[in-house]
């Protein structure tokens, strides 16, 4: 069984909500460090780009954009088969020292991806603050990690799967934009 809790309009609305919350936080602390959005490869990168556009539409200066690959920081990297492919990390200005970083990802589940991303970020300096923005928070954390900004909170079962499809991704995870919740197939 499958259901789509967010369609393209819902995704746009969720990103606008997150952008507004990021801008509101910046207005509350006007001397806050420069903002950089860092998307976690793969789906976090186009989401960070969309967030940057939404932030700009709200009249806030355009944030810097970056992308981080966490492959070598995963706690299962040593046992991953076949050999994992490492993607490119791009940090604007080559350092995050003293900056306000908003990590962006599509789905927050156990928290292990975010833990790996935090480890990877520290290789690029010590940010002033690191926040987390996710399109979907589906619960079931294994680590004490919570988002600062969540577009949608879904009540899921542990064995369900949440898939985010974005036009920018192409292939199996390409558009049309939608979030789908897939229940496990029951055996008969």
pLDDT tens track for 29-38: 767 788 999 9
| Mean pLDDT (whole number) for 151-179 | 92
pLDDT digits (tens, 9 = 90+) for 112-160: 999 999 999 999 999 999 999 999 999 999 999 999 999 999 999 999 9
17 in any annotated domain: yes
Query: Which residues are registered as beta bridge partners of 1?
Result: none
30 in any annotated domain: no
What is the residue range of 160's domain?
A: 2-25+35-75+85-182
- Tell me the average pLDDT of the chain: 91
80 in any annotated domain: no
59 in any annotated domain: yes
Least confident among 45-59, 61-75, 170-184: 170-184
43 in any annotated domain: yes
Tokens of 30: 């006007």
Could you tell me the pLDDT band of residue 1, with boundaries at 50, 70 and 90? Answer: low
20 in any annotated domain: yes
What's the confidence (pLDDT) of residue 6? 95
How many Å apart are CA 119 and CA 70, to the nearest integer?
Answer: 8
**What's the total number of domains in the chain?**
1
131 in any annotated domain: yes
- Residue 117: CATH number of its domain: 3.40.50.2020
Is residue 188 over pLDDT 60?
A: no
Q: How many other C-beta atoms lie within 10 A of the C-beta of residue 119?
A: 14
14 in any annotated domain: yes
What's the confidence (pLDDT) of residue 156? 94
User: What are 174-179's contacts with CB under 8 Å, separation 24+?
Assistant: 176/7, 176/8, 177/7, 177/8, 177/11, 177/12, 178/4, 178/6, 178/7, 178/8, 178/11, 179/4, 179/5, 179/6, 179/10, 179/11, 179/135, 179/136, 179/152
How many Å apart are CA 175 and CA 165, to the nearest integer?
Answer: 5
Percentage of the chain exceeding pLDDT 90: 76
């Amino acid at each position: 069984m499958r259901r789509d809790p967010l369609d393209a309009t819902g995704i746009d609305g969720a990103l606008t909500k997150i952008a507004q919350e990021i801008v509101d936080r910046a207005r509350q602390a006007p001397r806050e460090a420069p903002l950089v959005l860092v998307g976690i490869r793969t789906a976090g990168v186009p989401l960070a780009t969309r967030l940057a556009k939404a932030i700009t539409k709200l009249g806030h200066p355009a944030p810097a954009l970056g992308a981080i690959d966490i492959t070598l920081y995963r706690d299962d990297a040593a046992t991953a088969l076949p050999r994992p492919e490492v993607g490119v990390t791009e940090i604007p200005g080559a350092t995050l020292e003293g900056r306000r970083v908003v990590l962006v990802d599509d789905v927050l589940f156990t928290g292990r991806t975010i833990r790996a991303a935090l480890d990877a970020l520290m290789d690029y300096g010590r940010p002033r603050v690191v926040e987390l923005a996710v399109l979907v928070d589906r619960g079931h954390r294994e680590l004490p990690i919570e988002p600062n900004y969540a577009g949608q909170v879904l009540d899921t079962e542990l064995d369900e799967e949440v898939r985010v499809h974005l036009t920018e991704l192409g292939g199996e995870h390409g558009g049309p934009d939608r979030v789908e919740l897939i229940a496990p197939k029951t055996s008969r």
